[in-house]
Amino acid sequence: MSILVREEEKQDYRRVEEITRLAFSYPGRIERGGIGCPYEHWMVNELRRRDGILPLSLVATECSGETEELVGHIICSKAEVRTENGVIPVLNMGPISVLPECQRRGVGKTLIYAMIEKAKKLDYGAILFFGRPEYYPQFGFKEAAEFGVADAEGYNYPSFMGMELIPGYLKEARGGKFYESDIYNDELNRETVRAFDEQFRKGE
Ligand SMILES: CC(C)(COP(=O)(O)OP(=O)(O)OC[C@H]1O[C@@H](n2cnc3c(N)ncnc32)[C@H](O)[C@@H]1OP(=O)(O)O)[C@@H](O)C(=O)NCCC(=O)NCCS
CATH number for the domain spanning 142: value is 3.40.630.30
Q: Does the beta carbon of 130 lie inside 6 Å of ligand 1?
A: no
Overall domain count for the chain:
1
Ligand 1 center from residue 108 Cα (angstroms): 6
Q: What is the CA radius of gyration of the chain?
A: 17
pTM to 2 decimals?
0.95
| pLDDT, one tens digit for every residue, the chain (204 residues) | 789 999 999 999 999 999 999 999 988 776 665 678 889 999 999 999 887 788 899 999 998 778 889 999 999 999 999 999 999 999 999 999 999 999 999 999 999 999 999 999 999 999 999 999 999 999 999 999 999 999 999 999 999 999 999 999 999 999 999 999 888 877 778 889 999 999 998 766
Ligand 1: which atom is nearest the Cα of residue 72? 39
Ligand 1 center from residue 86 Cα (angstroms): 36
Q: Does the beta carbon of 109 lie inside 6 Å of ligand 1?
A: yes
Q: Residue 189 belongs to what domain range?
A: 3-201
Question: Of 167, 21, 193, whose CA–CA distance to 95 is shortest?
Answer: 21
Q: Which amino acid is at 191?
A: E
Residue nearest to atom 27 of ligand 1 (CA): 135
Are 76 and 119 in contact, with CB atoms under 8 Å apart? yes
Q: Does the beta carbon of 56 lie inside 6 Å of ligand 1?
A: no
